[in-house]
Structure 1
Amino acid sequence: MSEPQPPTATVQGRAIAMLWHILARYRPAMLWRLARIAGPLVHRFSRREREVTETNLAEVYPDQGATERRRLARQSLTHSTATMLELGFAWMGEPQRVEGSILEIHGRELLDEARAEGRGVIVLAPHFGNWEVLNFWLSSHFPFTAMYEPPKIAELDPVIRQGRERMGASLVPTNPRGVAALLKALKRSEAVGILPDQEPDWGSGVFAPFYHRLAYTATLLPKLVARTDARVVTGVARRLPGRGFAIHFLAADERVYSTDETQSATGVNACVEDAIALDPAQYQWEYKRYRKVIEEQQGVPNHKTYRLY
């Protein structure tokens, strides 16, 4: 049984869900205008997000001037704010309106060709643009399975789950049972989604370069590829500010198919870099991507953490 939520968390969850329901009525153009108002406030008053974003940008773009990186940080937090405002639209907006907001599709042939060959497709979906719009499109057009971990605020779980599953997506837990479900879906020549840019628990990843610095990267992908002969593509929903979205599917770096886990993880990170290159401001730079490197250097990793595989 899940632990009871404190009253403040329950109230917070209900307030967030209500806000999503309200924002679901707005189109992306209006949500972008709201983000342009709220984004600079997030940059100014959310110290943690600002500092992590600026630190990450200094790591990956060391040759840029400080002024340029600060400008990029402000843009990035505006896009992250837009993503949060768009969640209600992606999860609860009328399906025809969400579909109508997707103005461009690039690289769909990568998915169609793989399925025509009887191969499953692994979609690497980094935290770029609006990944919930990508989930909406994928689950609208293909049999689609993705891992799902319930949010910390339990009140939001049914809202998020219903939003992600409403177009037919199958959500599976982040445990061995979920991995087995992904394997079965791939063997049925279906599509599955993986978040390639979240640090896994200790024991479920390897250190691989991400923008020339080591980052702890999950090793789920080579396990799935080795057992299914699936094709790997990178997928993102790039925001077209004030208009809608463009879906991009990119051919994966060939290293993702390596049986060597470090080589494969290096390829995964290269795929994320390729997606970011579409528009660096649309990546969620406020995530502490290099956290476990620092833990390792400080000698504090908890290697007893539950292994996913």
Structure 2
Amino acid sequence: MQHKASAKRRPFTQASAISWLWRTLAKWPLPRLWRMASLLGPQVYRFSKRERRVTELNLNVVYPTTSAAHRKALAKQSLKHSTATMLELGHAWMAKPEKVSASILEVHGREKLDSARAEGRGVIVLAPHFGNWEVLNFWLSSHFPFTAMYEPPKMAELEPIIRHGRERMGAQLVPTNPRGVAALLKALKRSEAIGILPDQEPDWGSGVFAPFYGRNAYTATLLPKLVARTQARVVTGVALRLPGRGFAIHFLDADERVYSAEEAESAVGVNASVEASIALDPAQYQWEYKRYRKVVEEQQQHPQANDFRLY
């Protein structure tokens, strides 16, 4: 008697390899992940030319009076921390919740969220790309009703894995469109917390130019619209890495200008708030992101209007 053919195995794709790696690294202790980041970080600096170049160009802009040697050392440290963040994704998304909770060793400024909610006000958390923002999402969604915008990854096979990781403690993810904005407004009116990425360049027409370390950067104008309609409190939130040990959550009062009804003034306050969080440890900011890209695009279209050349 001929046996039925066994079920076909799923092909081993790039997405399945990444998923397997996340699951494997989720089992590792944080000190081991940091040691690996310390080994891989210098290799990223050496061989990832794009990341090294953009990091160093950004640091040249934001710290022009700092010595070249110091900026180079800071670039190396920054790419080590970015490597650590990538290695820690499995920890944030797939490790047992009690393990992730135990890795959060300190929480500073929680009273800012508690007092706002006690007053019947929602809280807008500005969450820049600093430290491990996925750990921040884990903590927020573990302690408050929490809503954040979500854009699916380019690799569609990873979408359910990432979504599950971000939603597993109760976070609600909404699309980056008008329907998502409506969901954010409803959450704030219920005195809940929402998260916004303050340092990601929006599409043309959805932002204004505002100074970031003295240079204009295209900055989203969603925040003043949300504040005007809900009277929400605004704080900056980060998960500062304590290398080899865990994380410290920090909630900082946002710059008062974020409450301005003028979009340009509010954007100035947003960028000032991001700068204040970066000051906790500049090496933990994701400097390899092209924060000034829109300025460069504008300069290329109107060279007489701006002489700023970067990327």
TM > 0.5 fold call: yes
Shift of 1:118: 0.3
Supply the RMSD in Å over aligned alpha carbons: 1.0
State the alpha-carbon separation in 1 of the partners of residues 32 and 102 from structure 2: 15
User: SS state of the match for residue 119, structure 1?
Assistant: coil
In structure 1, the residue matched to 2:194 is 192
Shift of 1:11: 1.5
Contact 1:21 1:88 in 2 (8 A): yes
State the alpha-carbon separation in 1 of the partners of residues 31 and 96 from structure 2: 16
CA deviation profile, 1:89-109 (whole Å, cap 9, x unmatched) = 000001001000000000000
In structure 1, the residue matched to 2:38 is 36
The equivalent position to 2:19 in structure 1, one of 13, 17, 20, is 17
Shift of 1:290: 0.1
Q: Percent identity?
A: 77
The equivalent position to 1:265 in structure 2, one of 264, 267, 289, is 267
The equivalent position to 2:208 in structure 1, one of 203, 206, 209, is 206
User: SS state of the match for residue 251, structure 2?
Assistant: strand
User: SS state of the match for residue 234, structure 2?
Assistant: strand
In structure 1, the residue matched to 2:156 is 154
State the alpha-carbon separation in 2 of the partners of residues 114 and 10 from structure 1: 48
CA deviation profile, 1:267-305 (whole Å, cap 9, x unmatched) = 0000000000000000000000000001011118xxxxx
Residue ranges of structure 2 left out of the alignment (5+ in a row): 1-10, 303-311
Residue ranges of structure 1 left out of the alignment (5+ in a row): 1-8, 301-309
State the alpha-carbon separation in 2 of the partners of residues 204 and 71 from structure 1: 35
State the alpha-carbon separation in 2 of the partners of residues 11 and 30 from structure 1: 27
Give the AA of the match of 2:55: T
Residue 244, structure 1, aligned to residue 246, structure 2: yes
User: SS state of the match for residue 196, structure 1?
Assistant: coil
The equivalent position to 1:89 in structure 2, one of 85, 88, 91, is 91
User: SS state of the match for residue 36, structure 1?
Assistant: helix
CA deviation profile, 1:145-196 (whole Å, cap 9, x unmatched) = 0000000000110010000000000000000000000000000000000000
Shift of 1:10: 7.9
Q: How many pairs does the alignment contain?
A: 292
In structure 2, the residue matched to 1:111 is 113
In structure 2, the residue matched to 1:305 is none
CA deviation profile, 1:12-32 (whole Å, cap 9, x unmatched) = 111111100100001211111
User: SS state of the match for residue 249, structure 2?
Assistant: strand
Contact 1:256 1:267 in 2 (8 A): yes
In structure 2, the residue matched to 1:297 is 299
Residue 195 to residue 10, structure 1, CA distance change in 2 (3 Å): farther
Shift of 1:56: 0.1
Alignment of 1:281-296 (within 5 A): 281-296=283-298
CA deviation profile, 1:195-229 (whole Å, cap 9, x unmatched) = 00000000000000000000000000000000000
Give the AA of the match of 2:96: E
User: SS state of the match for residue 192, structure 1?
Assistant: strand
In structure 1, the residue matched to 2:308 is none
Give the AA of the match of 1:255: R
The equivalent position to 2:136 in structure 1, one of 119, 134, 140, is 134
State the alpha-carbon separation in 1 of the partners of residues 232 and 172 from structure 2: 18
14-23 or 160-169: bigger deviation: 14-23
In structure 2, the residue matched to 1:306 is none
In structure 2, the residue matched to 1:71 is 73
In structure 2, the residue matched to 1:51 is 53
Contact 1:215 1:290 in 2 (8 A): yes
The equivalent position to 2:169 in structure 1, one of 167, 170, 184, is 167
User: SS state of the match for residue 118, structure 1?
Assistant: coil
Radius of gyration: which is bigger? 2
Runs of 4+ in structure 1 off by over 6 angstroms are: none
Q: Compute the TM-score of the two structures, normalised by the length of structure 2.
A: 0.93
In structure 1, the residue matched to 2:125 is 123
